[in-house]
Amino acid sequence: MKFISWINKLKDKLNKTRLNFVGKIYNFFKSKERIDANFWEELEEILINSDIGVFTANILINKLKHIVKIEKINQPSLLIENLKEEMFIILKESASPLNLNLDFNIILIVGVNGAGKTTSIAKLTRYLKEKDKKVLLAAADTFRAAAIDQLEIWAKRLNVDIIKHHSGADPAAVVHDAIKAAHARKADILIIDTAGRLQNKVNLMEELRKIKKVITKEAKNLNPEVLLVLDANTGQNAFQQAKIFKEIVEISGIILAKLDGTAKGGIIFGIASELKIPVKFIGIGESLEDLKEFNPQDFIEAIFE
């Protein structure tokens, strides 16, 4: 019963994506009488306009063409289930849960300002506390004083400790102190907020390089989870951000925020297919409870009625 209620909630939260993305696909398949060159061209256009991207759209089209040839399908409506299955495979192949197998873990949060980074950290903290993990926060986004203040407000609300320095301080120094504090306070997980200014990639790359160097030295070569927060509302812009951050730092997963308020949920397939970065969490609301582990089967179930 709990599973059914969760799927229904997810369907409700993903309503815009379901109506504007999958709804268009359903209408298209049911309105066509035959599979020909025009059919493939129009389907490709629908997929691309749904923020799936050219690369992933071509993969799906080619797979469907192969299925049509092998199974000798001539009715467009019969292809809907095949498309659904191929889209599930794309998500499943890149799926990877959060890796928290060690006694002490570090999660490095990256992303541009305005993507929902601080709120996602708060939601992730709440999620981990529900799993009886002792969490410590590090305010290493010292570029903006507001970022430090916002994180401190969430820390107080969630009743977790936070390590911070003054605005403009060296982010690597904050991380150094935070790791020391995490060990001293016997924290299970250290979540590190970082600056997200892409105007100067060189500065950001150097900053993250120094942070990872500190982690390697102070945390005994621990390989941190690096989660990129993306705003689903920005569609292809989010995809471009993911490409840039992938060039700067080795990303282990995505937190796709604000998925409930967008019709651009197709971006999730492009990220999984082209960039090979697993989506580990989705944000489907404003409350602290609305950050969920990403489950490909549940997602497909929710957008395909």
Helices and strands: H and E segment counts in the chain: 13, 8
- CB contact burial 79-108 (16+ within 10 A = b; e otherwise): bbebbbebbbbbbeebeeebeeeeebbbbb
Higher pLDDT, 7 or 73: 73
At 88-119, the pLDDT tens digits run: 999 998 888 898 888 899 999 999 888 899 99
Residue whose tokens read 């060296």: 170
At 265-285, the pLDDT tens digits run: 889 999 999 999 999 999 998
Q: 201-218 vs 236-248: helix axis angle to the nearest 10? A: 50
pLDDT bin (cut points 50, 70, 90) of residue 1 is very low
* Domain ranges (residues) in the chain: 105-251
Q: What is the overall mean pLDDT for the chain?
A: 91
Q: What is the pTM of this model?
A: 0.92
CA–CA distance, 65 with 290 (Å, rounded to integer): 38
Higher pLDDT, 85 or 263: 85
| Contact criterion met (CB below 8 Å) for 88 and 303 | no
Looking at domain 105-251, which CATH architecture does it have?
A: 3-Layer(aba) Sandwich (3.40)
